Amino acid sequence: MQPEDKEVDGGLLPDSKEAIPGGQAEGSKWQRPRFSRKSLMKCCLVKWIIASTTQQGPDSSDSDLELSMVRHQPEGLEQLQARTQFTRKELQSLYRGFKNECPSGLVDEETFKTIYSQFFPQGDVTMYAHFLFNAFDMDRSGSIRFEDFVLGLSVLLRGSVTEKLRWAFNLYDINKDGYITKEEMMAIMTSIYNMMGRYTFPSVRDDSPFEHVEKFFQKMDRNRDGVVTIDEFIETCQKDENIMSSMQLFENVI
Amino acid sequence: MAAGVATWLPFARAAAVGWLPLAKKTMPKPPIDNSSRSDEILYVNVSGVRFQTWKNTLDRYPDTLLGSSEKEFFYNEDTQEYFFDRDPEMFRHILNFYRTGKLHYPRHECIQAFDEELAFYGIVPEIIGDCCMEEYRDRKKENQERLAEDTEANEAMDAPLPPHSTPRERLWRAFENPHTSTMALVFYYVTGFFIAVSVIANVVETVPCRPPKGSVKDLPCGEKYQLAFFCMDTACVLIFTFEYLMRLFAAPSRCKFMRSVMSVIDVVAIMPYYIGLVMPENEDVSGAFVTLRVFRVFRIFKFSRHSQGLRILGYTLKSCASELGFLLFSLTMAIIIFATVMFYAEKGTKGSTFTSIPASFWYTIVTMTTLGYGDMVPNTIAGKIFGSICSLSGVLVIALPVPVIVSNFSRIYHQNQRADKMRAQQKVRLARIRMAKKGTTNAFLQYKEDRALGDRDSGSGALCVKNKSTFEHQHHHLLHCLEKTTNHEFTDELNYSELCITESVGFRTSRSTSLSSQQGAPNHSTGCCPRRVRRRAAMRLANSTVSVSRGSVQELDTLHTKSTHLPPQTRSSLNAQVDLKLNCGEQDFSAAIISIPTPPANTPDDSLPPSPAVIPTGILRTTRATAYTSDTIKISSL
């Protein structure tokens, strides 16, 4: 295969096999192209003519077909009921809305970003939406299925405070290694400040996220090792009155 | 608002839990939402067709009628459903919008009907999906153009002379709309005649006439009858100059007028003559002078004022400017290419006519336009090959933009035709409405008379009264209330003019509160009424032409905004069917249109006689007596 390949590659270019003793100096001389069949085939024009005259190969249509047939069916209603804390009616309502928006049953990241950006017209939500997407997409499949969606919502709306805090920790921990580093927190914070957009009062300064992160670490990082673990996080939050009381805020959303 | 927003909002709010541990300040309280959480199926009954949908579906768009609490107004407790008395076919599309988030425009529907439905349900047309947006926009534009044209035409043609128009304004109007006054019409035809004469004289001038005695050579008629032609030319130029100066004087904006195309043509048409007068009899200069005479032919363009078709053509060319430009450009490119090729192909041959590339241009043009004079013909084989390619490509290049130009022309031409047809239709309509209004006035006055009679003699009055419909009763009662409110009474024009004549100052009766200028009428009796009458008639006319041209809601708005003093009966006039029978003894009638306080009625455009001194400019001179004796008239309003 190798010699053939070489020949193919060198079809229209100076052939490496015909190494000129002159070396580099004459390497730049234009060599007469070898009009082998392979080189002819590689010629763009010929390719184009062949491509336009022959039918589309079966491969491309197959792959197209495959994509359009991707459809995700969620688990049964009973299983979801068991796994989440929603009632049957709520699940039905949620699924109807979800299916209406995403008939294929899956939300990919782009769609997710588009949807989320509709709520924050002023700022740039792509970064934060990316983190949020990863927080929902628990099996890292690249798309959110209805189960992921509903499980996430169940935690957020019907879960205990600890569960909610765990979810928030999971959101901040970008690489899901169990530790929040300063870089991760910085990324999260920047993305949140990005959502504010340009027109704020007072204006978002360049070091506002950094300051915020510093404050966060001061509060959360007990042993000053530069990372926040889940226990530190939960412990600190439980001690904070404001955070605890605000956890109840969004319970009535659905 | 996109569908996504409403459905995903709960999700976005839930995800806000992620901000809570990071919050710098305490979070605000959430809004109290007492609405029931569970989803339910709603029943929507649209003119008998029952639709069912989830409540959530409708809630997706809270700024529309169905998504907001506004639909509660339509809730029918007995049947537990929302009832809308609208078109169920259209509603299907509206509901699909809620379901799919995309609004589609049904192609077979009238665009105005669709727009009205959208407006009713509170949906903005801009969210029509891409698939249907283009069609929607095209139809809407077409419709608007049509409507705009008609109003324009109306205003242009039928708008009456504004009161106190200066002679200058009148003159301008006479020039622009020749058929408003006979003088203008006469002038119009005279100028047309002189344009024709001038052009014919120019042409005949060059025809060879028999030479005078003693000469052999044929002489052009221009030189033989030099004096005659000179006199004719002078006369024409005098008329044209006079016309131009008059137009210049009358023009409301002189600068704009002087820049307009028609005036430039006028100037170019008469300039050569004056230059010729001024120039001395010099040999060299007279050569140039002869060239100037060519410009006299531009007088023929003055006909475009007289011919609408010419104007359409000019307008078409203007609107196709880009296509024409493209055509010209591509032709130029092709000409240069082929001329060069032909020149080099034919270079070698002896006695070739292709002496230079510019000389070859002529061959290329003649070949590309498939004229083929044959004065230049290629001899070499290469020349012939390229010549044939040239002629084939010429056909193609010219054929490309031509359909665009043609379609533009036909569109504009048809629009114009339509405008004329609409005008004719309107005249018929106006006549009908006039009669209906006449009937209504009489009905109302009859009602009053009957009431008066009824007071005196309940028997016969009651008989007449019984024959009217409930609608009539209520309508008349309403008018009566209005009368009592304003302490004025309705009457018909006969009485009004009588009263007007008998009273010079301070009209006690028949005066609409709309009369703003109540200053003392001039002394002579014919003067007071006509001016006021005319003014009011003018206002009424302006209003009524708006109102009668189309019986649509929009019109109602214009009517109401334009004339806030018009009492509400005009609304009934536009909506109700008028089934008019004027004799009390016969069955019911519901005359919906009533003329407004004196001087009543529409003054239709064609009945406007030119001279303002005549009192009843379009005022109906019908008496009640005649109304009674006339047979039943079935009139439908608009």
Which residues in B lie closer than 8 A to residue A246 (C-beta atoms)?
20, 23, 26-27
CB B341 within 8 A of CB B386: yes
B396 CB-near residues (< 8 Å, 6+ apart):
none
User: Any idea how long chain B is?
Assistant: 638
Residue A48, chain B, CB below 8 Å: the answer is no
Angle at B427 between CA B565 and CA B558, to 5 degrees: 30
| Least CB–CB distance from B20: residue in A96, A212, A243 | A243
Determine how many CB atoms are found less than 10 A away from the CB of residue B49: 13
Report the gap between the CA of B18 and the closest CA in chain A (Å).
5
Q: Which residue has the tokens 């536009």?
A: B574
Question: Which is nearest to B74 in space by CA: B43, B119, B104, B100?
Answer: B43
User: Would you state the pLDDT for residue B610?
Assistant: 41
User: Any idea how long chain A is?
Assistant: 254
Window from B3-12, B209-218, B601-610 with minimum mean pLDDT: B601-610
For an interface test with A, give the residue of B1, B8, B9, B11 to mutate (most A CBs within 10 A): B11
CB A121 within 8 A of CB A199: no
User: Would you state the pLDDT for residue B535?
Assistant: 46
User: Would you state the pLDDT for residue A41?
Assistant: 63
- The whole-angstrom separation of Cα A179 and Cα A220 is 12
User: Would you state the pLDDT for residue A96?
Assistant: 83
- The whole-angstrom separation of Cα B150 and Cα B207 is 47
Query: A112: burial class by Cβ within 10 Å (0-12, 13-18, 19+)?
Result: buried
Residue of chain B minimizing CA distance to A170: B18
Residue B31, chain A, CB below 8 Å: the answer is no
Which residues in B lie closer than 8 A to residue A157 (C-beta atoms)?
14
Tens digits of residue pLDDT in B317-358: 888 888 788 888 888 998 999 999 999 999 888 888 899 999
- The whole-angstrom separation of Cα A162 and Cα A160 is 5
- Check whether B145 has a pLDDT greater than 50: yes
Average pLDDT, stretch B192-208?
A: 87
Average pLDDT, stretch B46-61?
A: 88
CB B393 within 8 A of CB B334: yes
Instruction: Check B4 against A165: CB less than 8 A apart.
Output: no
**ipTM for the complex?**
0.71
- The whole-angstrom separation of Cα A37 and Cα A219 is 72
Residue stretches of chain A with pLDDT short of 70: 1-36, 40-43, 55-70
Question: Which is nearest to B434 in space by CA: B622, B626, B628?
Answer: B622
- Check whether B593 has a pLDDT greater than 60: no
Terminal CA-to-CA distance of chain A, rounded, Å? 64
Residue B227, chain A, CB below 8 Å: the answer is no
User: Would you state the pLDDT for residue B171?
Assistant: 82
> Does residue A181 sit in helix, strand or coil?
strand
Query: How confident is residue B587, by pLDDT bands cut at 50, 70 and 90?
Result: very low
Which residues in B lie closer than 8 A to residue A242 (C-beta atoms)?
23, 26
Window from B3-17, B115-129, B552-566 with minimum mean pLDDT: B552-566
Rg of the Cα atoms in chain A: 28
Tens digits of residue pLDDT in B287-297: 666 677 777 77
CB B230 within 8 A of CB B271: no
Average pLDDT, stretch B478-491?
A: 62
Instruction: Check B20 against A247: CB less than 8 A apart.
Output: yes
Report which of residues B580 and B352 the model is more confident about.
B352
Terminal CA-to-CA distance of chain B, rounded, Å? 39
Would you tell me which residues 88-107 of chain A have a C-beta closer than 8 angstroms to some C-beta of chain B? 89-90, 92-93, 96-98, 100-101
Residue B33, chain A, CB below 8 Å: the answer is yes
Report which of residues B329 and B542 the model is more confident about.
B329
In this structure, what token pair is assigned to residue B472?
């009539």
Query: How confident is residue B482, by pLDDT bands cut at 50, 70 and 90?
Result: low
In this structure, what token pair is assigned to residue A35?
């009009």
Tens digits of residue pLDDT in A87-115: 888 888 888 888 877 888 888 889 888 88
User: Would you state the pLDDT for residue B612?
Assistant: 39
| Least CB–CB distance from A156: residue in B3, B15, B26 | B15
- Give me the phi and psi of A144, to 5 degrees please: -95, 125
- The whole-angstrom separation of Cα A167 and Cα B575 is 64
